[in-house]
Structure 1
Amino acid sequence: MRALIRTGTPKTLTYDTNHPEPNPAEYPECYTIRVKATALTRGELTWPEPLLPDIPVPGFDVAGEVVSTPIAPGEYAFKPGDEVYALTTFTWKGNARELSLATEKELSLKPKNLNWGEAASVPLSALSAYQALFIHGGLNSPEQGENSGKRVLVTAASGGVGIWGVQLAHEAGAEVVGTCSTANIDFVKGLGADTVIDYTKTDLLEWVTQGRESRGFDVILDCIGGQTLSASWKCARRGGKVISVAEPPDPKRPADGTAEDVEGVWFIVKANGNQLVEVTSLIEQGKARAVVDSVYELEQWGKAFERLEGGHAKGKVVLKVG
């Protein structure tokens, strides 16, 4: 079968037309999925976990059809022909291949109102934002109730995770501020941001300092790292949380100027089909939407990664597989 594989150094990729199909006997608790599309994540070729398989494959989002259920005895929630999507575990092969594997705990039925590429763009980014806000950030999820008085900052609000950070925080009833470039201001407003800061024209920390009591944040979802992450510490209210998906926040904590009891959180997103069901519900109700920057055929993987690593993608870069 066709697949994109990593060979040699961590960033070396090869297009393979004779890649071995997954053997269900080796993974008796897994569904076999016919992959329709997978999404790529910036920086994934530097991650250590995906290099553990003998022949690593990139792309950890998957949208496709169930081919077969697990061979281990038991009752299973999905059946052959079901249209599903998922974030799959980072220590297994990814999904830039025609047939892939997923566990039941990872899977959710695909939103009925999304095409394959749109569906593939959702899981990793949406789950990263969901877990940052509602598991590590302490906010109530949209199903749990309002977050009256809570203020949330999302940096790089037009990027893969940022898009979902804005939408989920908005749907959860928090006041949302997003940062982006001039070209994406209207786009981020359309996602539900109450205030959008153009980082090319306005310094975030200076903006917050002008009215720290009213402009400070209870939860900060940083998707950039570096100097932006360092400045984010000083933008948090007392008892707030600085959560980063870019790099660990604690080493970026300034020596002074941070409010009392502000906590830094670094985490690696986990596959979770139940949380994805909540995201699916929001999508099907029209309360959230997938954003695809561009779609490439599997054979065009070089152009896809070039677009991805250029740093200007609005939403996700998707590989069409089947």
Structure 2
Amino acid sequence: MRALIRTGTPKTLTLDLSHPEPTPSGSPDYYLIRTHATALTREELTWPEPLQADIPIPGYDVAGVVISTPTAPHPENGTYKFKPGDEVYAMTTFVNQGNARETSEAHETELALKPKNMSWEEAASVPLSALSAWQALFTHGRLSPTFSETRHGTATRVLVTAASGSVGIWGIQLAHLASAEVIGICGPANVQFVKDLGADTVLDYTKTNLVEWVEENRETREFDVVLDCIGGQTLEDAWKCTKREGKVISVAVPPESKKPAKGVAEEVTGVWFIVTESGDQLGQIARLIEQEKCKGIVDCVYEMEQFQEAFERLEGGHAKGKVILKVQ
């Protein structure tokens, strides 16, 4: 089978046209998946965890069809949830091989049925990014995944930085669905795009200083929760704009590394986490997608043979949504 493998230094990639296929006997606890598409993630070639695999393969999102179920007995009830032919999607664990290959492997806890109203490429754009935002807001933040069409009482105020990026677009959508007051930060070309995703206010970072904007009226503008997707000066400023007992959550860098020595309210806490795979959460996200309450965003799609162009687009830092590899 074709597979995109990392050889030599961590960033060296080669398209192997005769890579060995995984087999049910070789992975008795895993489903085999015919991969249709995978998504690439910025800076994933610098992550240490994927290098633990014998032959590292990038791409930790997958959308495809179940080929076979695990051969080992089910650890709980004896019946596996998915069957051959099921259309599924997942974020797979970083310490195993990724999904830029024609046959992939996934554990039952990672899998969910693919949203019926999405193409393979659209479905592959969802898992890692949506799970990152979901866990930031609902596991580590103050929000509850109890979605309502109407706000009741005072809304939790949420700031999402890099709001047009792959995680930011999900932060905006999920915070909006959770009835938060949502403020997004992005560049001038994406202001309307972020508004359309559900942001109540969008700040153009080329025109607006975040700290000055909040200081104009702290009572109505300081944040309960920050979802930071970029780090740098924006993260440092966000600390100063968070209210007492608020949370600064980052998927970019450990937030404590950017905490200013002065100007931070009492009992503001920083949270740094690595997203974890969850088929259950992806199932909830799939239902929202099928109800057309949120959507994945595909920046562009490349064939496997175009992997170099795909990573160049990704690392350029201007992708709006996900960069996808079409596998087959």
Q: Please give the TM-score of this superposition, normalised by the length of structure 2.
A: 0.96
Structure 1 match to 2:159: 153
* 8 A contact 1:155–1:224 mirrored in 2: yes
Residue 204 of structure 1 deviates from its aligned partner by 1.1
Aligned-partner Cα distance in 2 for 1:235–1:22: 50
Residue 175 of structure 1: aligned partner: 181
Report how far residue 143 of structure 1 moved: 4.6
User: Partner residue of 1:125?
Assistant: 129
8 Å CA contact 1:32, 1:67 repeated in 2: yes
**Structure-2 residue corresponding to 1:42:** 42
Aligned 1:154-303 pairs, distance under 5 A: 154-303=160-309
Contact 2:148 2:177 in 1 (8 A): no
Look up the equivalent residue of 1:55 and give its one-letter code.
Answer: I
Aligned-pair identity (%): 68
For 1:23 and 1:115, the matched residues in 2 are separated by: 27
Deviation at 1:228, TM superposition (A): 1.1
- Following the alignment from structure 2 to structure 1, what is the Cα–Cα distance between the partners of residues 104 and 148? 34
Q: Distance in 2 between matches of 1:77 and 1:71?
A: 13
Give the whole-Å Cα distance in 2 for the aligned partners of 1:144 and 1:109.
Answer: 24
User: What's the secondary structure of 1:295's corresponding residue?
Assistant: strand
Give the number of equivalent residue pairs. Answer: 322
2:109 counterpart SS class: coil
Partner residue, 2:103: 99
1:142/1:168 contact within 8 Å kept = no
- Secondary structure, in 3 states, of the residue corresponding to 1:189? helix
> Aligned-pair distance for 1:211?
1.1
CA deviations over 1:192-251 (Å, ceiling 9, x no partner)? 000000001111111111111210000100000111111110110111000000000012
Counterparts of 2:196 and 2:147, CA distance in 1? 22
How far apart in 1 are the matches of 2:148 and 2:268?
24
Distance 2:208 2:325 in 1: 35
Instruction: Give secondary structure in 2 for the equivalent of 1:105.
Output: helix
**With structure 1 as the length reference, what TM-score do the two structures score?**
0.98
Residue 144 of structure 1 and its aligned partner are, at CA, apart by 8.7
**SS at the partner of 2:25?**
helix
- Equivalent residues of 2:181, 2:200 under 8 A apart: yes
Question: What are the equivalent positions in structure 2 for 1:301-312 lying under 5 Å apart?
Answer: 301-312=307-318
CA shift at 1:25, angstroms?
2.1
Any gaps of 5 or more consecutive residues in structure 1? none
> 2-side partners of 1:173 and 1:202: how far apart?
25
Structure 2 stretches lacking a partner, 5+ long: none
Matching of residue 114 in structure 1 with residue 118 in structure 2: yes
Take 1:257 and 1:286, find their aligned partners in 2: how far apart are those partners?
Answer: 41
For the Cα contact (< 8 Å) 1:38–1:63, is it kept in 2? yes
Does the alignment pair 1:138 with 2:142? yes
- Measured in 2, the distance between the counterparts of 1:291 and 1:51 equals 28
Secondary structure at the counterpart of residue 191 of structure 2: helix
Q: Aligned partners of 2:137, 2:126: CA distance in 1, in Å?
A: 16
User: SS of 1:303's equivalent?
Assistant: helix
Structure-1 separation of matches of 2:35 and 2:229: 28
Q: Which letter does structure 2 place at the counterpart of 1:41?
A: T
For the pair 1:76 / 2:85, whether they are aligned, the reply is: no
Q: Is the 8 A contact 2:251 2:274 kept in 1?
A: yes
| Cα-to-partner distance string for 1:60-115 (whole Å, 9 max, x where unaligned) | 00000000000012311100000000000000000000000001110000000000
Structural RMSD (CA): 1.2
Deviations 1:244-263 (A, max 9, x none): 00000012110010011100
Letter in 2 for 1:66: V
- Distance (whole Å) between structure 2 residues aligned to residue 89 and residue 319 of structure 1: 18
How far has the Cα of 1:142 moved from its partner?
A: 3.2
